[in-house]
Homo-oligomer: A and B are copies of this chain.
Amino acid sequence: MEFLRNTWYAAAWSDEIAPGSLFQRKLLNTDVLFYRLSGGGLVAMDDRCPHRFAPLRLGKLVGDRVQCPYHGLEFDGSGACVHNPHGDGRIPGRARVQSYPVAERLGVVWIWMGDPALADAEAVPELPGLDPVVFTVNRGYINVDAHYELVADNLLDSSHIAYLHPDLGSDGVTEAQTAIRQAGDAVHVDRFMPGETLPRFLDLVYDMGGRPGDRWLEVSWQPPAVIEVRISVGPAGSPRAQARQRPTYHLITPETDWTCHYFWSSGRDFRHDDSRLHAMLQEGIARIFETEDKPMIEAQQQTIGRVDFDMLSPIPLAGDGGVFKTRSILRKLIAQERVGRTDPMRQVPVGASS
């Protein structure tokens, strides 16, 4: 499996990485160690000492350095070895741990696992629906035993909702016209379900009391697998601007070739102080993902086996436009990256006349 490297992946929720402690997560088949510098900065590096390959996560923080648990080498936040307690204390030239550019924004930790020189702070995904000034936010994390693209496929395709999610689905979702747009490398898949009686869970969340509502379901994907699903509901026939907004994010990051991390959030611009609603959303969303989506996606992966999904010639249905578009964009970007790495024009000798 080949992953897109020169891009930002969601690595953690900010509060998973507590000050003064070491946090480890496997990302793109690599064990990564995270910790916070005393000045507040965040660092990420390989969780592997270059001396005997002990995992640094079993060591300890000594000020802004991580100390290897096995022989006490110390590394600073750049991954450079800055203390060797043995012999004459000289630090071998290669004594360095690979570090990674990171960014932290609105409670999400992002990591760049490609060429560090290309890491672009401007390209960190904007997730305005996590802004605490505007939205009250629920969050969660799930580990899924499936290729990360299967989780992204699930989110891009609302046509499964009526079948997999009795508390969310309706015939309206299945029948709704789907508008698919591509904008650059982003893909948008929108559905509008006017004047429907909302499924129970949504009726409670949007406080509809059984009255018919208009529902907008707007999915936006950007590579590699950063997905917003904006769910807006208002009384049937009322203007869109008056609808209640619930931007939800779904940040999918490969853990290994066949497992992934799934960070989810759900913001709302209404009933901010309703702690009962807050608890209901936290429990309800986690339950839907953990007992409906995750088992289905894992069963799907089991059935497929450890082979590339695209090799299996899946039958396309009407709801799959988004899935095919995003998969094809991702393939294109990965292919471009591969070409970039082996481009012979980049290896023209210095002084050559090209």
Contact = CB atoms under 8 A, between A and B. Distances in A.
Contact of A52 (B58, B94, B300, B318): B300
Interface string A57-76: 01000000001111111000
A250 to B, nearest CB: 17
B296 A69 contact: yes
A296 B51 contact: no
A48 B303 contact: yes
Interface in A265-321: 295-296, 299-300, 302-304, 309, 312-319
A51 B317 contact: yes
B159 A86 contact: yes
Contacts of A312: 53
A70 B160 contact: yes
Given A52-B153, A54-B300, A174-B86, A163 B70 contact: yes
A63 B111 CA distance: 51
- How many copies make up the complex? 3
The bracket for how many chain A residues form the interface is 35 or more
B55 A299 contact: yes
Nearest to A57: B299
A126 interface: no
Interface string A85-103: 1111000101100000000
Contact of A318 (B58, B68, B87, B313): B87
Contacts of A88: 318
Interface in A22-43: 31
A163 B69 contact: yes
A223 interface: no
Given A31-B303, A55-B302, A70-B164, A87 B317 contact: yes
A54 B317 contact: no
A84 interface: yes
A11 B304 CA distance: 22
A253 to B, nearest CB: 20
Contacts of A329: none
B174 A51 contact: no
Nearest to A50: B315
Which 4 residue pairs spanning A and B have beta carbons closest together? Answer: A87-B318, A86-B318, A72-B163, A50-B315
9 contacts: A51-B317, A54-B303, A69-B164, A71-B160, A72-B162, A86-B159, A87-B318, A88-B318, A95-B315
